[in-house]
RNA sequence: GGGGAUGUGGCGGAAUGGCAGACGCGCACGGUUCAGGUCCGUGUGUCCGAAAGGACGUGGGGGUUCAACUCCCCCCAUCCCCA
């Protein structure tokens, strides 16, 4: 799609061809001169002579990409261009800007490609990274290239492994709610200040001691149930399993199995991960998603006695409603069900409760079979509540009353304690169940007059003995105190969050810096042995099994490399044989801390020099969490990546390695660029770029096609790449278009044909400065007309405000308006063109640099001062007031800005005298500087 | 089922209580041109009207206000997250 013919175009017009001559030239200039190198306060990247050394800092970061084999499409760089425009502006406004870019290069696609083709993932990854770098460079993104790395670089994952060792070698001290070195725990056990669970420390064998210590580590090996997927040959995290119990990738069956796996004790940080959200400048929906994911609920564990020795423990968030607990429900699978159920129904059992079975055992057996056939989703969603009486009664500890114990599938075994106390008066599900089974309902919170159903609102307690008249919050606290005092329960906080499954049976990931000795217990390698380099192997795939073979065992690619697995090492006890851990870390590991490595990427003594960390990420004032000043990326990482990164950062903070206690102070979710796709009558996708719109329909050739909307991708045949846009229009036009098409946080459809509008804008700017026929500079030194000067300064003030708020679309609109004001003027004044170029340069840096040079400036404008509006020029000469009569504009009056309210009122009333038709105004409102409103 | 977000011309969007539709695409007309998927100019929410002008108009309904796209309540649609 050529934009103009070669023959008649003026020689010096800003065409795609000219843009493609200018752009690589400036990219080379920036690279050669290190224009975007940011000086550190300390270390090899320190540069006291740099124009921004010691200036206020700004650390802006994009979520780094996984370099996929298909390269970038136009949607990917939206956020990158946004942060680039923002940081270029901030650099000109005086900040020392850190804006780096790296690559999240471990991951499954390269490994799967390796399995298929035999190409080493390192080769594929390196090629993809180079391709990405080329595409990003072509867009003119102003990164400090000295700070770029891939998570697959041994120099980088050395420190990922180092952090793992920090986590492994620490434990969470509940008393001070902080991670501490494991040595401190050992010291407490040795000194006897911390009790050991079974026998005294002195009587424990070395292995027992190690097991006890290992149970406290923040990284630990667990025999816990995991999602084992034989078809893929690996375990999966919960979020990689679909609701119907299959793998998200490949759709293989997933089995719950107890397997030895590495876990990270993220649950220890549950409270802080929730509470510190309050310190963050993040979108509220993302905070809410994190809160929901962590799922902290506060309440109490309450013990209900039974006829046998057993107690039924429930967790409730509403201990204040205990007097209204009129029955209990256990999950059908609950272990106590068989123990407490009597041999025969108690006398007078309601036939609805027993479901007409002759014994409790039969009823339970039948109900379990029924429940087992349902998925978790069906169980919790079921509209009609089902269940059956166990025949047993439990004792409500607050009033000694016997309450019947049911089993019902709306209580899940895997959630909480698998048992609930049912309070129909205050819980909708319990209310429904109580209605079905004719159970008593006692309100314990005062409900509004005439209220029907379960009341979950907040009012005073009733029917609750000593709690009567107290509010919910107070009643909860008093009940918890009473339960603890009488030994019937204790206050508790529970979390939905589970510990983080941290090992994968994969090749292309970071090896663990862990070996096992003859006891089978893990031993940390010393820092001096880092990095543990990922060895070459012949076969990259984990062993896969019959997808339905639940009893198969994972076999990792690294486990087959015996000469690597079996090593002789001296770890302090002389040379001994050890076996290496053969799992690798999940892809999240590398992205959990990369924001820190950008600060000091070449440091081989430390993860990051403390001076550099404090400067770029340290707290800026009392109570500030510190962290990256602006972190931009898609909302799809709202929970996992951001939660894991916060967790690691807090561990590093506790251990004294960083001064910030949050990694990302401000988060911004950019929208997505999506695209239309077209299908023919058979449902096949046709190339979107060849579809034309005519007669109110869409056609591929002569064939009518239907339009749909979705992600860009090969399968939908609707990919548009930044390279195509650069070829057709140049990078600057593409950048301006992406920034002008809407607010950064809103998703929108891509429309190639609209890009030309941005090119026309840049052509007009070019034409302001350069004669298209001769190439001569047209700019003169004559002063601006006063009205134009005012427009210029209004633009400067508005653009600065928009840039600060990341409102690039309206900033560009203001620049277009200014340009359109200047275009028809007979003389082109430097007074206007230079500030215009400086303001345009964050969006169209190559064009701005080129014209800046033509206007006689040497070097780059990257450090030129961003224009500042003259306040005197922002004062309007006159103000036009619309005059409304009963809300409709009937006239406009022009008055001096210094006119007082009375005179504005008088002028306005005169102007609308006709519309008033002699009626006397009831009310006249003069809004200074805005409008006049007359009410009759 | 629960939670969140969004809804403005043919299209992307602007205006966060104060003149709805900035800016751009598209479209129409005019100029330049042998020509035009070029450039320049003018117009472009809908309806009535030749025009002046008028009426209507921000998913639907109600409310607060001199004034509501904006704030409050109810409903609808689409998208996202959780179950």
| Average confidence (pLDDT) per 10 residues, chain A, 936 residues | 47 88 95 96 93 94 91 91 96 96 90 84 93 94 95 96 97 94 95 89 93 95 83 78 76 81 93 93 90 88 88 88 90 85 88 87 87 62 74 91 88 76 84 85 79 74 86 87 91 87 90 95 94 89 83 85 92 91 92 96 94 96 94 89 95 96 94 85 82 74 80 83 92 94 89 90 92 85 89 94 94 94 87 95 96 94 95 83 80 80 83 74 82 83
Span CA (A915) to C1' (B49), Å:
21
Which element (helix H / strand E) includes A538? none
Instruction: Answer for A635: CB within 7 Å of strand B.
Output: yes
Is A714 flagged in the annotation as binding?
yes
Let me know whether A488 and A595 are in one domain.
no
How many CA atoms lie less than 13 Å away from A651 in the CB half-sphere? 30
Bases in strand B with any atom closer than 7 Å to a protein CB: 1, 3-5, 11-15, 18-20, 22-26, 34-41, 54-55, 66-68, 80-83
Question: Is the distance from CB of A175 to CB of A531 less than 8 angstroms?
Answer: no
Whole-number distance in Å between A915 CA and B51 C1'? 21
Does a structural domain hold residue A833? Answer: no
CA distance A663 to A595: 7
Helices assigned H by DSSP within A698-829: 722-729, 731-740, 755-769, 786-804, 808-822
Q: Is A82 helix (H, G, I), strand (E, B) or coil?
A: helix
Distance CA A676, CA A463 (A): 61
Sole residue written with tokens 């057996």: A365
Which nt has its C1' nearest the CA of A807? Answer: B14
Any domain includes A561: no
- Give residue A634's domain range: 34-152+589-669
Give a yes or no: residue A568 inside a domain.
no
Distance A452 CA to B7 C1' (A): 35
Residue A49 φ/ψ, nearest 5 degrees:
-85, 0
Those residues whose C-beta lies under 8 Å from the C-beta of residue A94, and which sit 6 or more positions away, are: A52, A55, A56, A865
A520 phi and psi angles, rounded to 5 deg: 85, 5
Tell whether A661 is covered by a domain: yes
Q: In whole angstroms, give the CA distance from residue A764 to residue A820.
A: 8
CATH of the domain at A903: 3.10.20.590
Reference A152, options A507, A500, A503, A505; nearest CA is A507
In-domain check, residue A61: yes
Q: Distance between CA A926 and CA A936 in Å, rounded?
A: 15
Question: Of A637, A654, A669, at which residue does a domain stop?
Answer: A669
Q: What is the pLDDT of residue A373?
A: 67
Strand B contacted by A753 CB (< 7 A)? yes
Q: Based on the fold, state whether residues A320 and A467 are members of the same structural domain.
A: yes
Q: What CATH number does the domain containing A139 carry?
A: 3.40.50.620
Q: Do β-strands A57-62 and A96-98 pair in parallel, antiparallel, or remain unpaired?
A: parallel
- C1' nearest to CA of A892: which nucleotide? B19
pLDDT of A5: 40
| Nucleotide lying nearest to A749, CA to C1' measure | B12
A628 CA vs B6 C1’ separation (Å): 29
- Does residue A928 approach strand B to less than 7 Å at its CB? no
| N residues, chain A | 936
Q: What are the strands, taking DSSP E only, across A667-730?
A: 667-669, 673-679, 685-686, 691-694, 697-700, 703-710
CA distance A493 to A503: 28
CATH number of the domain at A352, please.
3.90.740.10
Question: What gap in Å lies between CA A277 and CA A661, rounded to an integer?
Answer: 11
pLDDT of residue A374: 65
Q: CA A910 → C1' B51, Å? A: 27
Residue nearest to nucleotide B66 (CA to C1'): A935
Query: Are residues A304 and A409 in contact, defined by beta-carbon separation less than 8 angstroms?
Result: no
Confidence at residue A3, expressed as pLDDT on a 0 to 100 scale: 37
Task: Say whether the peptide bond before residue A531 is cis (omega within 30 degrees of 0).
Answer: yes
Instruction: Decide if A776 contacts A847 (C-beta within 8 A).
Output: no
Does residue A330 share a domain with residue A448? yes
Residues A341 and A474 in one domain: yes
Could you tell me the CA-to-CA distances from A402 to A320, A542, A734 in Å, in that order? Answer: 19, 56, 74
Closest CA to A537 of A94, A103, A121: A121
CA A817 to chain centroid, in Å, comes to: 36
Nucleotide minimizing C1' to CA distance for residue A15 = B38
CA of A930 to C1' of B8 (A): 23
Count other C-beta atoms under 10 Å from residue A42's C-beta: 15
Write down which residues 463-482 in A have CB closer than 7 A to strand B. Answer: none
* Strand B interface, A 212-231, C-beta < 7 A: none
Q: What is each CA distance from A475 to A278, A420, A448, A713, A856, in whole angstroms? A: 27, 19, 19, 56, 77
Residue A95 has a pLDDT of: 96
CA angle A317, A318, A323 (to 5 degrees): 145
Q: What angle do CA A111, A117, A121 make, to 5 degrees?
A: 35
Residue A315, phi then psi, degrees to nearest 5: -105, 135
Note whether A471 and A601 are same-domain residues: no
CB atoms near residue A573 (< 10 Å) = 9
**Is residue A822 in some structural domain?**
no
Residue A465's Cα: distance from chain center in Å?
A: 47
A340 and A460 inside one domain:
yes
Among A626, A654, A669, the domain boundary falls at A669
Distance A747 CA to B70 C1' (A): 21
**With contact defined as beta carbons under 8 Å apart, do A423 and A318 qualify?**
yes
Of the candidates A512, A515, A510, A513, the one whose C-alpha atom is nearest the C-alpha of residue A569 is A515
Q: What is the pTM of this model?
A: 0.89
The answer to whether some atom of strand B lies closer than 7 Å to the beta carbon of A930 is yes
Length A809 CA → B7 C1' (Å) = 20
Same domain, A613 and A473: no
Q: Which of A12, A18, A110, A103 is nearest to A508 (CA)?
A: A110
List pLDDT tens digits, range A601-647.
Answer: 999 999 999 999 999 999 999 989 999 999 999 888 888 899 999 99
Contact flag, residue A824 CB and nucleic strand B, below 7 A:
yes
Same-domain status, A356 and A461: yes
Residue A831 lies in a domain: no
**Buried (b) or exposed (e) across A438-466, using 16+ Cβ within 10 A?**
ebebbbbbbbeeeeeebbeeeeebbebee
What domain count does chain A have? 3
A741 strand B contact, CB < 7 Å: yes
Cβ A29 to strand B below 7 Å: no
- Whether A212 maps to a domain, the answer reads no
Tell me if residue A492 falls in helix, strand or coil. Answer: strand
Q: What is the model's pLDDT at position A156?
A: 96
A764 touches strand B (CB under 7 A): yes
Minimum CA–C1' distance nucleotide for A639: B81
* Domain closes at, from A447, A467, A494: A494
């Amino acid at each position: 799609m050529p934009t103009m013919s070669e023959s008649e175009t003026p020689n010096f017009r800003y065409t795609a061809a000219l843009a493609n001559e200018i752009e690589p030239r400036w990219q080379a200039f920036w690279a050669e001169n290190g224009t975007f190198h940011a000086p550190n306060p300390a270390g090899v990247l320190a540069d006291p002579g740099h124009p921004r050394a010691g200036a206020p800092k700004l650390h802006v970061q994009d979520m780094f990409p996984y370099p996929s084999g298909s390269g970038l499409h136009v949607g990917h760089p939206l956020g990158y261009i946004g942060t680039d425009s923002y940081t270029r502006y901030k650099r000109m406004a005086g900040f020392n800007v850190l804006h780096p870019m790296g690559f999240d290069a471990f991951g499954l696609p390269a490994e799967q490609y390796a399995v298929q083709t035999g190409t080493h993932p390192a080769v594929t990854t390196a090629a993809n990274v180079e391709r990405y770098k080329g595409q990003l460079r072509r867009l003119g993104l102003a990164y400090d290239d000295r700070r770029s790395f891939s998570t697959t670089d041994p120099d980088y994952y050395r420190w990922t492994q180092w952090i793992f060792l920090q986590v492994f070698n620490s434990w969470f001290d509940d008393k001070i709610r902080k991670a501490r070195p494991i040595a401190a725990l050992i010291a407490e056990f040795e000194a006897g200040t911390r009790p050991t669970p079974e026998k005294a420390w002195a009587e424990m064998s070395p292995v027992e001691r190690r097991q006890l210590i290992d149970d406290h580590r923040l990284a630990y090996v667990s025999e816990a149930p995991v999602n084992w997927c034989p078809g893929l040959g690996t375990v999966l995290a919960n979020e990689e399993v679909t609701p119907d119990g299959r793998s998200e990738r490949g759709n293989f069956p997933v089995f719950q199995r107890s397997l030895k796996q590495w876990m990270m004790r993220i649950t220890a940080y549950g409270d802080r991960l929730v509470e510190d959200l309050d310190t963050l400048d993040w979108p509220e929906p993302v905070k809410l998603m994190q809160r929901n994911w962590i799922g902290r609920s506060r309440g109490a564990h309450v013990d209900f006695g039974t006829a046998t020795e057993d107690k039924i423990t429930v967790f409730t968030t509403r201990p204040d409603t205990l007097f209204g607990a009129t029955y209990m429900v256990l999950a059908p699978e609950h272990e106590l069900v068989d123990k407490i159920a009597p041999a025969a129904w108690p006398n007078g059992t309601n036939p609805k409760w027993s479901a007409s079975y002759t014994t409790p055992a039969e009823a339970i057996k039948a109900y379990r079979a029924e429940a087992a056939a349902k998925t978790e989703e069906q169980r919790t969603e079921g509209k009609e509540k089902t269940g059956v009486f166990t025949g047993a009664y439990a004792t409500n500890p607050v009033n000694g009353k016997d309450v019947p114990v049911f089993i019902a599938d709306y209580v899940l075994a895997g959630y909480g304690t698998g048992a609930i106390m049912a309070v129909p008066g205050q819980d909708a599900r319990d209310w429904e169940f109580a209605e079905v089974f004719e159970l008593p309902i006692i309100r314990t919170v005062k409900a509004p007059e005439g209220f029907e159903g379960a009341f979950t609102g907040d009012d005073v307690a009733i029917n609750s003995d000593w709690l009567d008249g107290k509010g919910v919050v107070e009643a909860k606290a008093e009940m918890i105190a009473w339960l603890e005092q009488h030994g019937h329960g204790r206050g508790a906080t529970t979390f939905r969050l589970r510990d983080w499954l941290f090992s994968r049976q994969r090749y292309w990931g970071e090896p663990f810096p862990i070996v096992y000795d003859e006891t089978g217990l893990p031993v940390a390698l010393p820092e001096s042995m880092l990095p543990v380099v990922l060895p070459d192997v012949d076969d990259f795939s984990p062993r896969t099994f019959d997808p339905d073979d639940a009893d198969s065992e994972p076999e990792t690619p690294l486990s087959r490399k015996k000469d690597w697995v079996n090593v002789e090492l001296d770890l302090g006890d002389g040379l001994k044989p050890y076996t290496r851990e053969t799992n690798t870390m999940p892809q999240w590991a590398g992205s959990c801390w990369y924001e820190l490595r950008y600060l000091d990427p070449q440091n081989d003594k430390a993860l990051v020099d403390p001076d550099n960390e404090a400067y770029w990420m340290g707290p800026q004032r009392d109570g500030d969490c510190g962290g990256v000043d602006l972190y931009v990326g898609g909302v799809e990482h709202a929970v996992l990546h951001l939660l894991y990164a916060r967790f690691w950062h807090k561990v590093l903070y506790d251990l004294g390695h960083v001064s910030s206690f949050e990694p990302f102070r401000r988060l911004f979710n950019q929208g997505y660029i999506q695209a239309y796709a077209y299908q023919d009558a058979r449902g096949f996708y046709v190339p979107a770029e060849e579809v034309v719109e005519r007669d109110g329909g869409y056609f591929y050739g002569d064939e009518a096609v239907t339009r749909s909307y979705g992600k860009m991708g090969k399968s939908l045949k609707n990919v548009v790449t930044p390279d195509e846009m650069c070829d057709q229009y140049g990078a600057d036009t593409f950048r301006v278009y992406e920034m002008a098409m809407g607010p950064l946080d809103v998703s929108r459809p891509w429309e190639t044909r609209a890009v030309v509008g941005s090119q026309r804008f840049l052509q007009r700017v070019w034409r302001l400065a350069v004669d298209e026929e001769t190439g001569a500079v047209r700019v003169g030194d004559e002063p601006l007309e006063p009205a134009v000067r005012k427009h210029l300064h209004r633009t400067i003030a508005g653009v600065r405000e928009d840039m600060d708020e990341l409102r690039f679309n309206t900033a560009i609109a203001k620049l277009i308006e200014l340009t359109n004001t200047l275009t028809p003027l007979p003389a082109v004044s430097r007074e206007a063109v230079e500030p215009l170029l400086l303001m345009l340069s964050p969006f169209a840096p190559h064009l701005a640099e080129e014209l800046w040079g033509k206007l006689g400036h040497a070097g780059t404008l990257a450090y030129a001062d961003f224009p500042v509006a003259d306040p005197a020029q922002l004062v309007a000469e006159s103000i036009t007031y619309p005059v409304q009569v009963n809300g409709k504009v009937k006239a406009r009056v022009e008055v001096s800005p210094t006119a007082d309210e009375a005179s504005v009122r008088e002028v306005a009333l005169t102007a609308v005298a006709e519309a008033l038709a002699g009626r006397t105004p009831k009310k006249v409102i003069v809004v200074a500087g805005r409008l006049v409103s007359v009410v009759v």
